[in-house]
Amino acid sequence: MPTLNWIGKEAVEKHHLEIPYRLLEYDDTYSTGDLESGNLLIQGDNLHALKALLPYYTGKIKCIYIDPPYNTGEEKWRYNDNVNSPEIKKWLNEIVGREGDDLTRHDKWLCMMYPRLQLLSKFLRRDGVIFISIDDNEYANLKLLLDNIFGTQNMLASLIWEGALKNDSKFISVSHDYILCYAKSKEHLRVNKTKWRTRKEGIDEIYNEVEKLRQKYGEDYDQISSELQDWYKSLSKNHSAWQHRHYKMVDKVGVFFPGDISWPGGNGPNYEVLHPISKQPVKQPKGGWRYAKYETMLDEMKKGKILFGEDENKVPNVKRYLHETEGQVLPSVIYKDRRSAMQRLRSLFDSDVFENPKDEEVLLKLFEAVTNNNDIILDSFAGSGTSAHSVLKLNQLDEGERKFISIELEEDIAKNVTAERLKRVINGYEVKKQNGTLEKVEGLGGGFRYCKLAEPLFDQFGNVRDGVTFKQLAYHIFFSETGVPLKENSRLNTPLIGKYKGKAYYLLFNGILGDKTVNGGNVLTSKVLEALPKYNGEKIIFGMANRVSANRLKKEQITFKQIPVEIKTS
């Protein structure tokens, strides 16, 4: 496999391992709605934020979407377009050192992306997938990075997002971006026969039109079908329902089109089928009947699935209902003018607050295809909050309970754009129409918690910081010992914090046993040992000190680890 080298690579290859585990601090001034929804907006360096999330979300994320800097080389700082921000420059100088002075913009970009992608890969479930937006400036480099981190065998596709033409181009109007897509394990998806499907665009408009016609004409399905066809003719070719205009007939079951009833490829069976009115044998398809047995055909006729002509001289059709084929596979080329996303964001704020936002309708389709109703979506380059908006909108459409985690570096953007956008779409907002009047837009519901990066879990000397809770330390210890997070429903009201592969893990900290004296219950004594929840097997106990004899520890299969010196801190 080709390898990618750049100036500064050695400095950043293991850098994600050196990042300290930090705490998250809630700031409900910028939160809104249901604060217990599980949705998070985190302001801070995404490298530190991702490390802070590892003990809680490793192996739990179904879908990651990121829109990193495209690195076009423009010196004016724009979040999604450059790597010459003061924050990135400072980070490069600290991590890469003097060598960083010689970095090209591509070296800088690779140094910035590599440790972040390393961390992101740890969050995905075995059936998880990552989507990354990029353009020609770093496409080749990103592809090699992803091949190295996720494996060439796990690449699923390179989607093309075709936007509006740029008439100011000197040579060729490059109007597309890419969305690289990798699986955590493509083999896992194959073995489990995973299929990704999105709901066809435009079908809800068709259902709504049919419902209006039913209200008007009752069970006069001939009239309903006739007016449905007139409605299709009134649509422009750009209307999302126009592509489904072959679904032009309606019966009591639903909307359908007359499909071919012949055997695929020909040489199908031949048998007599009587017309329901004339009682004469109908004309048979040249390729033979689709159904191998007459009994199957008869059963389909009883269900009303066969559409007969006026008499026996016409070959019947099979009814293909729209509701039976509502899903479609994701296309490799997405046609969506990017300007519409900009216009919607401008309408939401009544001003231009963010340049080149991604389109929530496009991301919604990606998330709809690859996630189920209770999955988690992570975005570590949140920007204007498009991915979180998409999750909220998708949950409203299918009554899902998906959760989002969004991370935004810049405080001003996080507070005044990302958080504000989410507040408005959750609670509802007003849009100024062309005539100057205000129109109410209903909220999508839900909520999120705004967080900031707090101090590291451990101080510069490796001691547990004051104020760290039992739960915070328990999550860290269990993850650092096992490599997996505690279960989401862990109660953590006893020293037994969890079990993994035949071992039980205990934590004596902050008076968990009810003794609030100095170091009370934090020292392993014979009395404390008797009070611990029982476990028949190997036990790992963390505490401030140990007063139990080595013989008893060995007899009871106990390994004692002292806080803080034997806690893994990075």
Q: Where are the domains of the chain?
A: 9-198+329-453, 203-325, 464-562
pLDDT in the model for residue 141: 94
DSSP state, 274? B
Contact 549, 513 (CB under 8 A): no
Return averaged pLDDT per consecutive 10 residues of the chain, 570 residues in all: 83 86 93 95 96 96 96 55 59 62 79 94 98 95 96 97 73 88 97 92 94 96 96 91 95 96 92 96 95 96 95 96 91 88 90 91 96 97 97 96 97 96 96 84 96 92 90 94 88 93 95 67 91 95 94 96 89
Q: Supply the pLDDT for residue 98.
A: 52
- Cα Rg of the chain (Å, integer): 30
Q: What is the pLDDT of residue 101?
A: 58
* CATH classification code of 9-198+329-453: 3.40.50.150
The pair of structure tokens assigned to 195 is 């299929």
Q: Which of 212, 214, 211, 204 is nearest to 239 (CA)?
A: 204
Strands 22-26 and 447-456: antiparallel
Whole-structure pTM value:
0.84
Find out whether 481 and 487 touch, Cβ atoms under 8 Å: no
In the three-class reduction of DSSP (H, G, I as helix; E, B as strand; rest coil), residue 554 is classed as: helix
Q: At 319, is the secondary structure helix, strand, or coil?
A: strand
pLDDT at 208 (0 to 100): 95
Distances (CA, A) of 231 to 201, 216, 239, 241, 247: 17, 14, 12, 10, 12
Note whether 110 and 9 are within 8 A (CB).
yes
For position 79, what pLDDT does the model report?
39
Residue type, 15: H
**Angle at CA 100, nearest 5°, toward 96 and 106?**
105
Cβ neighbours, 10 Å, residue 108: 24
Strand partners, 562: 543
Count of other CB atoms within 10 angstroms of residue 375 = 20
Note the pLDDT of residue 473. 94
8 Å CB contact between 106 and 134: no
For position 28, what pLDDT does the model report?
Answer: 92
